[in-house]
Amino acid sequence: MAYRDLRDFLAQLEQQGQLRRVSVPFNVERGRNELQALMRHLAQTDGPALVLDRLEGYNTPGVPLVFNPYGTRERTAMILGTRDPLEAKLRHVKVLQEPGSWIKPTLVDRARAPCKEVVIPRDQVSVDRHIPHVFFGREGSSYITGGVVVTKDPETGVRNVGAYRVTSFWNCEHPQGGSYSEEQMKKQLSIFAFWNPPMNHIGLHLARAQKLGRPLELAIACQVDPALHLACATGIPFGMDEYDYAGGLRGSPVELVKCESVDLEVPATAEYIIEGVFRPDVPTDIIGWHSNSVGYYDKHQIFPIFDITAITHRRDPLWYGTIEMMPPFDHNYMALLPVEGELLADLQRKLPEVKDVVVTPNMTYIVQLNVDGAAKPHPEFGKYVLHAAWGAAGRWPRTAKILVVVGPDVDPYDLEAVEWAIQTRVQPYSDIIINRSAQAMVLDPSAPKGPQGFPTTSEQMGIDATIKVPERFSEYAEVSQADPAQVRSVAAKLAGIL
Ligand SMILES: Cc1cc2nc3c(=O)[nH]c(=O)nc-3n(C[C@H](O)[C@H](O)[C@H](O)COP(=O)(O)O)c2cc1C
């Protein structure tokens, strides 16, 4: 299974009744847009993916907007060829655990690269005309949210491809009443490369380039095969290439083409490519308000600026837009599947009793075991799993503020079931571990801010919601619950009646 590009995935969604083409007008202007409300409505109703072709206040009316393609766990699982979230996660885990199964990309001629159909050199680039702009909520700037960003380590030459948001200054409101220069608005962009320092890899490349006093080239491939996007949202170890991992996930190599103005390679079937370079002194500027993934506005954020050196795109390109806001929102699930996969891969390597890891859109972590009660390997095993999860590799697990361990009879995707397990299997003083000196999720507004202006440390709570046999009891009450097969058969009897 491999999608050739985003279009191929959208065709699959449409075939499965999960995508609608909609000509209802929606406003996308700064200050007047309806896109945050549309995102909320779709999330509340488990709505489909949309392709919107009648946007108002839009600078590129001929470019349709893809909206909400990843708005459910099911659609996100479809990126990996299944509708089942656990099956998708296990595929992600298997490839992550076996770098031998990764497949190197191939290079194709530019004549075979749809992303080269239109080429705009630097002297002709004008961000207001050449990059679609959609605004969300009360955000001050428009973001490029469908991009994967390619850079090479200035010391080793090893490539990194990461999913990071890119910001435009065009028609951007300055959060402190200042202004942006004409050059900034028309020929420059900025990127969210300093987030949770120093753990995103483009941030490491940028720091190395700055230290060496060298420029850092970059290329942003917008709207690519979603399996590649998923690979680029996965925290594979620094120094390994996401294109190779994506090849493993797809089961076939990613086809690349050389850039026009920088020494980098980009996916040939992307919709848009933006090429650019960070100057050695890495100028920065502030943007804001910025709506963040924990559901609050940051009054401002500091982003490094780069110069655009070329833009290429398809003749009839598609755009994709998404916002971070109070969860859930579209790309929650696309960003969470890799986080779940990374933690599951790490835990299963040492603990075969771990069956699944679910991270909710609000980033509560739930680890499900395939054993409970007396079948656990040793007493207090749930607490051992809590520590193992906090100590797992990767960027995210150490920031798990609320972490719950449950047994196999508790559905980790169902928060009511998890709450039931907490109510009936947990004594707060004995079964909850409070860690007072953990790493913060830097966007958490409840964690105290450090001297850098953002939180670095946070408190955490780990809840062992397994059955306390043998720790406290020799046997436990039987669960009163209907047999799922019988529930299905009763539902079938009532089909068309109720
Ligand atoms: C749509 C989307 C937007 C994201 N935006 C950012 C971002 O702006 N900055 C960031 O550091 N991580 C962002 N992430 C998460 C990173 O992609 C993820 O942590 C990934 O592992 C980073 O790659 P790296 O480990 O090579 O740095 C985003 C993920 C998704 C799916």
Q: How confident is the model at residue 188 (pLDDT cuts 50, 70, 90)?
A: very high
| CATH number corresponding to 351-443+456-476 | 3.40.1670.10
Residue carrying structure tokens 């065009």: 170
Q: Map out the domains of the chain as residue ranges.
A: 87-320, 351-443+456-476
Ligand 1 closest atom vs CA 242: 26
Whether residue 199 has pLDDT greater than 80: no
User: What average pLDDT does the segment 340-359 reach?
Assistant: 97
DSSP state of 215: -
- 450-486 pLDDT tens trace: 887 889 899 999 999 999 999 999 999 999 999 999 9
Distance CA 133, CA 119 (A): 19
How far is ligand 1, taken at its centre, from the CA of residue 393, in Å? 16
User: What average pLDDT does the segment 91-110 reach?
Assistant: 97
How far is ligand 1, taken at its centre, from the CA of residue 373, in Å? 38
Give burial (CB, 10 Å; 0-12/13-18/19+) of 452: exposed
Ligand 1 contacts CB of residue 334 (under 6 A): yes
CATH architecture classification, 87-320: Roll (2.30)
Radius of gyration of the chain (CA): 23
- How far CA 443 is from CA of 221, 298, 453, in Å, comes to 26, 9, 11
- How far CA 135 is from CA of 56, 139, 348, in Å, comes to 11, 7, 41
Distance CA 268, CA 259 (A): 10
* Ligand 1, atom 9, residue with closest C-alpha: 164
Whether residue 247 has pLDDT greater than 80: yes
Ligand 1 contacts CB of residue 164 (under 6 A): yes
Q: Supply the pTM of this predicted model.
A: 0.96
